[in-house]
Chain A
């Protein structure tokens, strides 16, 4: 069965310092993995996606994530946090074979301290 674990429900960083949001997954198939961002009372926006090409994926707004099959991880990073990065972040896994097998993680709330 597929599952997604986001290891931190809340992360707080100072502006200008690195961001690390952790995601581990389990999947019986070759997964596609996504990170989405949600600002308060808004829809979700795609940050980046992994679909079996390069293991290091670059996304929008300076975010990137590395797919590590041996660790079943897909952690999201950014070298320097900006105030506008404060939001909820969701890790998502899909096995590409069934539409109802898209699993959202519970989310990590990122706070950025001035």
Chain B
């Protein structure tokens, strides 16, 4: 079945550590996104990528990094520079530029990151 897979589902990080969240899709979508969700604040865009080897900062990119070496994969690294990383992280994809703009986004099941 086609879809988006995020792993792990739960992740614990010690202060000062970098951690990487995985996002893989087999939908053949060009565009991929990372969002952060905090209670009562909706979703905020961290990074997005419209095509392989290209990505753009979203509203809250500081303390995060991404790569897009393969169409299927868009990993997110939460660095030690992110001062408040505890949140629910959602990865999404959509078909991309071929459809002429943002259309329906497909979401992964999320990764809950907790700093211990």
Contact = CB atoms under 8 A, between A and B. Distances in A.
Contacts, number: 64
A44 B107 contact: yes
Nearest to A105: B42
Interface residues on B, range: 20 to 34
Contact of A46 (B42, B44, B104, B108): B104
A90 B42 CA distance: 8
Residue picked from B31, B59, B105, most chain A C-beta under 10 Å: B105
A101 B102 CA distance: 9
Interface string B33-67: 10100001111110010100000101100000000
Contact of B31 (A43, A44, A49, A99): A99
Nearest to A96: B101
Q: Describe B's contact surface by its main secondary structure.
A: strand
A104 B40 contact: no
B100 interface: yes
Q: Is chain A's interface secondary structure helix, strand, loop, or mixed overall?
A: mixed
Contacts of A96: 100-102
Interface of A: 9, 32, 34, 36, 41-46, 49, 51, 90, 94-97, 99-102, 104-107
21 contacts: A9-B40, A36-B107, A42-B109, A43-B107, A44-B43, A44-B90, A45-B107, A46-B106, A49-B103, A49-B104, A95-B101, A96-B101, A96-B102, A97-B101, A99-B33, A99-B102, A100-B45, A100-B56, A100-B58, A104-B43, A105-B42
